[in-house]
Amino acid sequence: MIPISARYVLVDKTYKDLSVSKQCKLLSLNRSSFYVVKRPKVESELNLEILVLMDTKYTERSDYGSRRMHKWLCLDMGYTINIKRVDRLYYEVLGLTSLLPGPHTSVARKEHKKYPYLLRNVSITHSNQVWVTDITYLPMNKGFMYLLAIMDVYSRKILSWSISNTMDSKWCYELLEDTIALYGRPEIFNTDQGSQFTSDDFVYRVLNNGIKLSMDVKGRALDNIYIERFWRTIKYEHVYLYPTSKTDELSTGIDKFVTYYNEERIHSSIGNSKPSLVYESDLLKSEVAA
């Protein structure tokens, strides 16, 4: 049996005769866990140390913005660093947003069109009505990766996920297309206003599939609270407990945790049931009714 790490190397994104999805299927790999291999910007040891502290603190206290984070690092943790360093790591590398109203959100581009938030006062009553997506930072023993996931809001099921060492729109829309191929199309797809999701390439793939695009209001991270809760869960119950320096180990661990999260973990928000059971049961009801 070829090890998972070796099978990932066999996938060739430039091969025209077979798509990445088909190559992954032939190699018995989860397409969503195939990460984008690019050369990321190398952060200093000090920055990596600060990133881990900031990510852990934010997961615990998501009301912290960059300035409160700076004060905490300097006054409580004893670091001598300037606010510019914290601003860059907080907004550009971690892509964080304080849950308190403020002037900042995920890094956006002014020239990109922003779409209205469509979920306010909307009753979510069935699977594939609303999907949400987001990106979070994952600390490793050496360096870091980013995790992208797509969740069905009604069932809380994680439909797909992917890790990468850089953030770009291609990574995001490829995961969306793979998810649509597996589960069909949602009625509404909600994102934040990050440049990956407001790019022309990403927006085209949402709208061209007949999906309504919804975006969080600037400064309102609670608009995407469903997946924010998942980030907290996976970090406290897996990532922080099992640190690794190997990307394939990280990928395998996330794959196992997502399976556990979907298939075994009880969720009070869905009546103490399990996401996969809720998702599949609701789809079955819809088919019978039709």
Domain ranges of the chain: 4-33, 130-289
Classify 82 as helix, strand or coil. Answer: coil
How far is CA 239 from its chain centroid? 14
pLDDT in tens, 209-268: 999 999 987 655 556 788 989 999 999 999 999 999 899 999 999 999 999 999 999 999
Choice among 20-24, 171-175, 244-248, 252-256 with the minimum mean pLDDT: 20-24
Element (H, E) at 283: helix 275-289
pLDDT above 70 (res 168): yes
| CA–CA gap between residue 47 and residue 43 (Å, rounded) | 6
Q: Are strands 188-191 and 130-139 parallel, antiparallel or unpaired?
A: parallel
Architecture of domain 130-289: 2-Layer Sandwich (3.30)
Confidence of residue 23 (pLDDT cuts 50, 70, 90): confident
For residue 289, the model assigns a pLDDT of 63
pTM: 0.75
Do β-strands 144-152 and 130-139 pair in parallel, antiparallel, or remain unpaired? antiparallel
Q: By the 8 A CB rule, do 249 and 154 touch? A: no
Q: What is the chain's length?
A: 290
115-133 pLDDT tens trace: 898 998 899 999 999 999 9
Can you give the pLDDT at residue 276?
96
Helices (H), 117-224: 169-183, 195-198, 200-207
Q: Euclidean distance between the first and final Cα of the chain, in Å?
A: 44
What pLDDT sits at residue 98? 62
Distance separating alpha carbons of residues 158 and 155, to the nearest angstrom: 9
